[in-house]
Structure formats: C-alpha cells, structure tokens
Structure 1
Amino acid sequence: MYTRREMKKCENITLIGMPGSGKSTIGKLLADELDFDFIDTDDYIEEKEGRNLQEIIDTNGNEKFCEIEEEAILELLPLQNSVISPGGSVIYSKTVMNKLNQISTIIFLDLPLEVLKERLDNKESRGIVGLDSLSLPELYQERITLYNKYSNLTIDCNGLSPDEIINLIKVSLK
C-alpha cells in the first residue's frame, strides 16, 4: 500500500501528485486530523494573481506560470505544523522541492492514469501545466519519475477511501 524511503521527524507534510490525485481533499482532512494548518498553494496563487490558474497559463504560458508558482510557494515558507498541497507542477522546480524536503515529509499520492482520467473531466479548464503540448498520458509519464524522485513516502491510493489514505499516512509517519 505504501513505499517508504528516508523519513524525517515531521514538522510539515507536503502532498504531491498529479492533478486529480486528491491532494486538496486528503490535505484538508489530514490537517484536521493532525490539528495542522492546511495550505493549498493553487488557491494562494489564484488569490495573489487575481485570476484562476488556467487564465494565468493561457496569458503567461507554462514557463512563466512555473516562475509565479515558485515565487508564491517560497513566499509562504517557512511553515510549521502544516499540510501543504502544492500544484502538480511543483516538481518542475528543484529550488522549491529542495526547500520542501528540508521542512517537510513529502508524500506522493499515486493513482493509475485510468483513475486520473476519470477524475479529470475538467482538465481543459483546470490549469494544468504542460497539457497544451503533451497528452495526459505523456504528462503522467513525464511527472511520475519526478514525483518518485522527490517523495519520502509513496501511497498507492487506488481503491482506497480518503479515511484509509489518511490512516496509511498516519501509520507510516509514526
């Protein structure tokens, strides 16, 4: 159900994964369970920029969006006792990922491509970096390597309820 690599004492938890993997849903529930703050960086970016993610990508392009994302996340740090839910494209920033690795345990919420396809019925308007030039399967293949590279813990979420995922996370962090 989960793969564990080097774990650290947990001040923060960062959830990474593809759009549709449940980062926000699991993040909110996990934060409540642990009595941590919940930080959704996509919400922060939209509030800061005054537009939704798709508008930012359409207007500024993928590269500029990634710069905006990096800046916004670095502004939020350092954090304590927080569950952090960054956008799926955060793994393109070595700077941010290295910083998140210093202050948190990074957990990859892994789901098969077929499940993600079912969940992403709004992918054209969701603000997903790279979908203008890659298909969802290509984007998945590109990112899966990076999610595995940066994560301390991988949770196979396929077929699990949010409560089951949270319980797996809690058990693995003990």
Structure 2
Amino acid sequence: MLRKHIYLIGFMGAGKTTIGKQLAQKFNLPFVDVDQFVEEREGISIADIFEREGEASFRLRETKSLQQLSDCSPSIISTGGGIVERQENIDEMKHHGQVIYLSASFATLYERVADDTTRPLTSAGKSTLHERFQMREAYYENAADLVVDTEGRSISETCDFIVEQLGNNS
C-alpha cells in the first residue's frame, strides 16, 4: 500500500487521466484529476477561466487545488500539463509523493489532442503547442522521480511498468 501520492505529469495527450484511473484501480486508491477538481471547486470550466480571466488566473487556482489535494490521504493525482511551470507546484508534489512523467513525442501527443476542442490550448495551433511542449519538457524531466516513455506501449503495459517500478523503489 502506498503511503504517499502518485502525481502524473506530462504534456496534454500523455495519458495522465486514463493511466491514472487504471493505476488507482491497481493500487486501490482514489483517483483525482486536478483539472476536473478545479472545475468542480470553482464551478466553472477551465476553458471559461482561460477565456474570461486568462491562463494566469487558472494557474493560481490550479496551485490552490493541488495544495488542497496534497493534504488528503494518498491518491493517484493526474495534473494539468502546465502544472510544472510553477516551482511551488513541483515542490508540493515532491514533498507529498512521487512524480511520474508520462512522456511521448510531440507528434504522438499532437495526434492524440489535435481534434479535442475541450482543451483551451489546442486552438493555439500546432506550432504554438510545439513551442510550449519544448519549453515544458525540461520541467517535466527535472520534476520527475520516474520517467515513463509511453510510445508504443498500451495503457495496460504502461500501468504494469509503473507498478513494477514503484514496487522496486519502495
């Protein structure tokens, strides 16, 4: 049984929510998606926060939600792709658990999210997303306790690999 949270980080389309739900079942722990938690806590969609108040306002709400979730009992926590842009978020995650970076190539990630209109940043265009991916990649790698390449792995294979790695590191 885990005594700390598992935080899943990575760019949009990395599979944080899908993999997180399956890991939660494997570990018999609650699953929480930070983005969904923000929406429920604030009573407004992330897209509306971005549109009405901007990304900076969303990032503040995201940090407050992360802090609130970190104080709860151990969970599998799927984070938003930009959570690593604030050092206080990285510090919070590292203090309260293990940080797993789900990595994939930009081409793969873009293919997974290109048609998803529910994500505020997908409307920015491919080149803007690629710039953001390149900027965040070092943050993900530096924040991670474990980097998991999801290229060519099924969700089940990725989860099994994570369980195996966490078992070897506990």
State how 1:36-51 maps to structure 2 within 5 Å.
36-51=29-44
Q: Distance in 2 between matches of 1:124 and 1:141?
A: 22
Q: What is the percent sequence identity of the aligned residues?
A: 29
Structure 1, residues 25-52: CA drift from partner, whole Å, max 9, x if none? Answer: 0000000011011011111111122221
Q: Distance in 2 between matches of 1:57 and 1:27?
A: 25
Letter in 2 for 1:27: G
Structure 1, residues 32-82: CA drift from partner, whole Å, max 9, x if none? Answer: 011011011111111122221111111111111111111121122213321
- Number of residue equivalences: 165
Q: Distance in 2 between matches of 1:34 and 1:61?
A: 36
Aligned equivalent of 2:23: 30
Aligned match of 2:143 in 128, 150, 155?
Answer: 150
Letter in 1 for 2:121: I
Structure 1, residues 101-148: CA drift from partner, whole Å, max 9, x if none? Answer: 01111000001001111111245541339948x711101100101000
Aligned equivalent of 1:112: 105
User: Which stretches of structure 1, 4 residues or more, deviate above 6 A after TM superposition?
Assistant: none
Matched-pair contact (CA < 8 Å) for 1:17–1:109? yes
Aligned equivalent of 1:52: 45
Change over 3 Å in CA distance of 1:128–1:70 after alignment to 2: farther
Matched-pair contact (CA < 8 Å) for 2:117–2:123? no
Aligned equivalent of 2:86: 93
**Secondary structure of 1:128's partner?**
helix
Aligned equivalent of 1:3: none
Matched-pair contact (CA < 8 Å) for 1:12–1:104? yes
Change over 3 Å in CA distance of 1:144–1:120 after alignment to 2: same
Letter in 2 for 1:109: L
Change over 3 Å in CA distance of 1:94–1:129 after alignment to 2: farther
Letter in 1 for 2:136: R
Q: Please tell me the root mean square deviation across aligned C-alpha atoms, in Å.
A: 1.9
Higher share of residues assigned helix: 2
Matched-pair contact (CA < 8 Å) for 1:41–1:84? yes
| Greater RCO structure (CA 8 Å; 6+ sep) | 1
Provide structure 2 residue ranges, at least 5 long, that are not aligned to the other structure.
none
